[in-house]
Amino acid sequence: MDVVRTSKRLSYLLRHRPDTAGLTLDPAGWVDVEDLLTALRLTRSELDEVVAGNDKRRFAFDTSGTRIRASQGHSVPVELDYAPAHPPAELFHGTVERFVPAILAEGLRPGNRHAVHLSPDVQTALRVGARRGRPVVLRVDAGAMAAEGAVFTQSANGVWLVDAVPPQHLTVLDRG
């Protein structure tokens, strides 16, 4: 089994297109492990290896270990049921230069995903931005947003999620 390939296929199925493998996610994004194993022709120990070895801990089992879901990043409608959490004063967003003018004009928007994804530190934001080219890091004044009533949640793998970030709470921090 190719762990990276299997992880990418899992991301695709659990975040975007479960239907392509005949799977259905429940409202919180969970799918039965047995159904997933059958659809992917994997053994439980292979799945455990992919989940445990995943660099960003993208997938999580429920407490009983009988269901699995992606911890964030969905484009299909799911209610991840993370409790609202008080964010640190600053969060970060990694992007690339070509998006910066639009972001500074209209703020951060979720695009195809459910939420804007924010990183807890500059290092992580640099890595997120670098997926698309030379990274640019934006600082998000999460403290001020929370004071104004914005609701933040934190996914099981540490990504901060919020509906949107208005431009007045963004500062360009670091152009790679």
Encoded amino acid at 123, one letter = Q
Of 58, 67, 69, 169, which lies in the binding site for ligand HQG, with binding defined by CB under 6 A? 58
| Phi, psi at 144, each rounded to 5° | -65, -40
Tell me the two tokens of residue 27. Answer: 């409202």
Under rule CB under 6 A, residue 142 binds ligand HQG: no
Of 102, 133, 134, 168, which lies in the binding site for ligand HQG, with binding defined by CB under 6 A? 102
Give the x/- contact pattern for ligand HQG in 151-170, rule: CB under 6 A: --------x-----------
Encoded amino acid at 110, one letter = P
- Part of the chain binding ligand HQG (CB under 6 A), chosen from 20-28, 61-69, 82-90, 112-120: 112-120
3-state secondary structure of 171: strand
List helix spans (H) across 1-121. Answer: 3-11, 33-40, 44-53, 100-106
CB of 74 to ligand HQG, least distance (A): 10
Question: Is the distance from CB of 57 to CB of 71 less than 8 angstroms?
Answer: yes
Nearer to ligand HQG by C-beta: 79 or 106? Answer: 106
Nearer to ligand HQG by C-beta: 15 or 67? Answer: 15
